[in-house]
Amino acid sequence: MQFLRISWKIIVGLKDALVLLFLLLFFAILFVALNASPNPGMVRDGALLLTLDGVVSEQPAEVDPFMALTSTAVPVREIRQRDIVRALRLAETDKRVKAVVLDMDRFMGGGQASLAAIGDSLDAVKKAGKPVYAFATAYTDDSYQLAAHATQIWMDPLGGTILTGPGGSQPYYKGLLDQLGIKANVYRVGTFKSAVEPFTRNEQSPEAKAALTAVYDEIWGQWQADVAKARPQAQIAPMLADPAGAVEAVKGNLSQLALDRKLVDKLGDRIAFGKFIATKVGADEKKSTGGFSATPMEALLANYGPPGAGEQIGVVTIAGTIVDGEAGPGSAAGDTIAKLIYEALDQKDLKALVVRVDSPGGSVTASEKIRLAIAAAKAKKIPVIVSMANLAASGGYWVSLPADVIFAEPSTITGSIGIFGVLPSAEAGLAKIGVNADGVKTTPLSGEPDVLGGFSPEFDRVAQSAIENGYRDFITRVAAARKKTPEQVDAIGQGRIWGGGTARQIGLVDRFGGMDDALAEAAKRAGLKANGWHAVYIESQPSFAGALLGGLMPKRDASVAPVDVFAQAAWQQQLFVQRVAADLEMLTRVQGVQARCLECADFGALVTVKAESGWLKYFANLVS
C-alpha cells in the first residue's frame, strides 16, 4: 500500500507540474501575442519606419503550427507587398509622418516587379515633400533597387555594395542518376520546356540557353533603367563591367568604393544613422542612443484600418506553386482558391474581379479548377482583370486566360506554355545490386508504370500521347482567349518564357501596369466612380494557431538573415543547396501532369529557412 501511495503522489506531482508548465506557456504566448499585435496608438509624429527584415511577397505563407512547434527551422519573415505600398500611400498625406525610413539591414529580397512597385510608391512620397532615408550594412541587387529611390542612402562602413545581375549555374543530375541506376522518365511537349532538362541532360540545351539569355537581358535591362532613373548619379556601369578591378583599385574597401561611385551618400553605423534621423524627425525619448521618433508600418495600417466605402471589387491572389487540394494562405491550392471564388460570387455583391497572379504554375488539374472558377465570374457578366506580378508562367498563365484585360510589368516573367510529367524508375540500379524483375501481364499496361523492370514502350506511348493532348488543349485555350490561331500560339509556346515587354509585343499580355492600374480598369469597366469602390480581398484566413505563431515569429534573427556581403554569399550557397534538394524531390514526390516553370525560380522572391532553435526553445527562453 505504501508503494501505491508513493506512486500516486508521484503521478499527481507530475500532473500538477505539467499543468503549471502549460499554464506558464499559455500565458507567455498570450502576453507575447498581445504585444506583437499592431497597436494603432503607436502612431506618433516622426518617421514611418519600414523594417524590411525578410522577403517581400504577394501573400505571406501561414506558419504551420505543428512544424513551428516541433521543427528546428525558423521561418523567414514574409512582408506583404500591398501592405508596404498602402503604408507609403498613407504616409503621403498623414501629417504625423515627416519622413520614411527604410531599414534594410536584414532584407532578403523580392521579385523585381514587386520592388519596382514599391519604388514607385517611394517616389510618390518624395513628390509629396517627404524625404526617404535608407540604411543597410550591405546592398545587393534587390535592396539597392529600393535604396536607389531614397533621398539619402546610408551604409555601414564595414559593409559594401555588390551588384551581380541575374544568371549563374544550375545543377544537372543525369550523370548522378546514371551512376545510381535511376532513370527519369520524362514526357513533355515544348522545345523550350527546360524544366526537366536537369534530369535528362548534363548541360543546358542551346534552346534553353537562348531563351534564358533573352529573358535575363530584358529583365536586367529593366533593373538598370529603374535604378538609373531613380539615382542617375550612381556610377554603376564601371562596377558591372570590371567589378574585380574596381574593388582592387580601392584596396578592397567596399564601402569606400560605393561612396566614390556615388552608390551611397553617407557611411555610418546604425547609431550614427539614428542620430541623423532624429535631427530630421525628432528623438525617441526612450532610446537615448541612436533613437528617433518612428511609427512602425503595422501600427500605421492598424490606425487607418481597411477601406470599406463604396461598391466591392473582389481581389483573389494566386501566389506560389499551384498545387492540388487545399492549403492555407501563401499556397495556390486549386480546391481552396476555386472554393473562395465561388463563395465570393454567391455571397458578395462583387462588381468586378481582379486576379493577382504571382506563380510559376504547377498542377494542370489545379490550374484548370482555378480557371473555371474565374470563368464563372465572367459568366456572371462582371469584368475580370488579371494583374501579373513577378511571375505568371505556365499554370500561372493558364489561370489568367479568362481575363478581359491582362496587365503585366515590363519585368514580369510569363509564357512557358507547355506541360510535362516526370516518373522515376530504378531498373538499372536494382540490377546492380542483384534485384531483377519478372512477372505475368494480362494486358500491355499491367503493372505499369513498372518501377522495377522499367516502363514498357506501350506505357511510354500512352503517357507521351496524353501529354501531347494536354499541350494541344493548353494552346487551344490560349488561342481562344487571346484571339489567335493554335499555330500562332504554338510558335510562341513550346515552353518558352518571355519577359513582360516581349510578352506584350507578341500578344500574351495587353498592357503595362500594376495592381492600381488593374483595379482602375476593373472599376471603369464596371461603371464605378473613382471614389465609389473598394477592394475586397478574397483569401483564406490563417488558422488561430497559425496566426498566433505568425505574430510571435521573431522579427530579427541574426542566424537567418544575412547582413554583410560575405553573409549574403553564404546565404546564396544555402539557397543553392535547397534548390538541389527540391529538384531531386521532384523524382519522388506524388504529383500529376505539370504546367510549371521551374527555371522561373531565378525571378521570384526566394524564401528559405535555417535550422536553429525551435519554437519550444523560443518559448522556454521567453518564460525563463
* Digit-coded pLDDT (tens) for 162-191: 999 988 888 888 898 888 888 888 888 866
Least confident of 452-456, 546-550, 570-574: 546-550
Q: Collapsing DSSP states into helix, strand and coil, what is residue 19?
A: helix
Least confident of 10-24, 293-307, 499-513: 10-24
Sorted by where each starts, the structural domains of the chain and their CATH numbers stand as 37-163+236-310+532-560+609-624 (3.90.226.10), 168-222+334-525+565-592 (3.90.226.10)
Of 520 and 550, the one with more pLDDT: 520
Asked whether 312 and 349 are in contact (CB, 8 A), the reply is: yes
Question: Which of 411, 367, 370 shows the shortest CA–CA distance to 389?
Answer: 411
Q: Collapsing DSSP states into helix, strand and coil, what is residue 291?
A: coil
Q: pLDDT > 70: what percent of the chain? A: 82
Q: Quick one: pLDDT at residue 558?
A: 40
394 is catalytic: yes
Compute how many other C-beta atoms are within 10 angstroms of the C-beta atom of residue 24.
15
Sorting pLDDT into bands at 50, 70 and 90, what band is 340? very high
Question: Which of 112, 88, 193 shows the shortest CA–CA distance to 497?
Answer: 193
Catalytic residue among 394, 411, 416, 540: 394
User: Rounded to the nearest 5°, which phi and psi values hold at 559?
Assistant: -80, -15
Of 359 and 615, the one with more pLDDT: 359
Q: Quick one: pLDDT at residue 70?
A: 53
- DSSP code, position 346: H
Q: Quick one: pLDDT at residue 392?
A: 95
Least confident of 57-61, 229-233, 244-248: 57-61
| Mean pLDDT score, 397-423 | 94
Q: Quick one: pLDDT at residue 615?
A: 39
| Mean pLDDT score, 479-491 | 96
* Whole-number Cα distances in Å, 129 to 97, 98, 125, 172, 396: 11, 9, 7, 52, 39
Compute how many other C-beta atoms are within 10 angstroms of the C-beta atom of residue 541.
10
pLDDT higher than threshold 60 for residue 613: no
| Mean pLDDT score, 414-440 | 86
Rounded to whole angstroms, the Cα distance separating 404 from 385 reads 6
Sorting pLDDT into bands at 50, 70 and 90, what band is 376? very high
| Mean pLDDT score, 502-512 | 96
- Cell 570590371, residue located: 242
| Mean pLDDT score, 212-240 | 94
pLDDT higher than threshold 80 for residue 422: yes
Q: Which three cell numbers, joined as nine digits, stand for 483? A: 484571339
Q: Quick one: pLDDT at residue 580?
A: 73
Q: Strand 413-415 to strand 497-499: parallel, antiparallel, or no bridges (unpaired)?
A: antiparallel
| Mean pLDDT score, 51-58 | 92
Q: Collapsing DSSP states into helix, strand and coil, what is residue 613?
A: coil
pTM listed for this prediction: 0.86
Q: Quick one: pLDDT at residue 556?
A: 41
Sorting pLDDT into bands at 50, 70 and 90, what band is 24? low
Of 309 and 20, the one with more pLDDT: 309
Cα-Cα-Cα-Cα dihedral sign, residues 315, 219, 146, 603:
positive
Compute how many other C-beta atoms are within 10 angstroms of the C-beta atom of residue 317.
25
3-state helix, strand, coil in the chain (%, to 5): 45, 20, 35
Rounded to whole angstroms, the Cα distance separating 619 from 623 reads 6
* Whole-number Cα distances in Å, 84 to 81, 322, 389, 443: 5, 25, 15, 60
Q: Where are the strands (E) in 500-567, listed by range?
A: 511-512, 533-538
| Mean pLDDT score, 65-85 | 72
Question: Which of 171, 293, 165 shows the shortest CA–CA distance to 227?
Answer: 165
Least confident of 415-424, 545-554, 582-591: 545-554
| Mean pLDDT score, 197-220 | 88
pLDDT higher than threshold 90 for residue 305: no
> In 355-499, where does DSSP find H-type helix?
364-379, 395-398, 427-432, 457-482, 486-492
Of 261 and 5, the one with more pLDDT: 261
Catalytic residue among 183, 193, 351, 369: 193
Question: Which of 144, 163, 165 shows the shortest CA–CA distance to 221?
Answer: 165
Asked whether 364 and 395 are in contact (CB, 8 A), the reply is: yes
Sorting pLDDT into bands at 50, 70 and 90, what band is 617? very low
Of 350 and 421, the one with more pLDDT: 350
* Mean pLDDT computed over every residue of the chain: 85
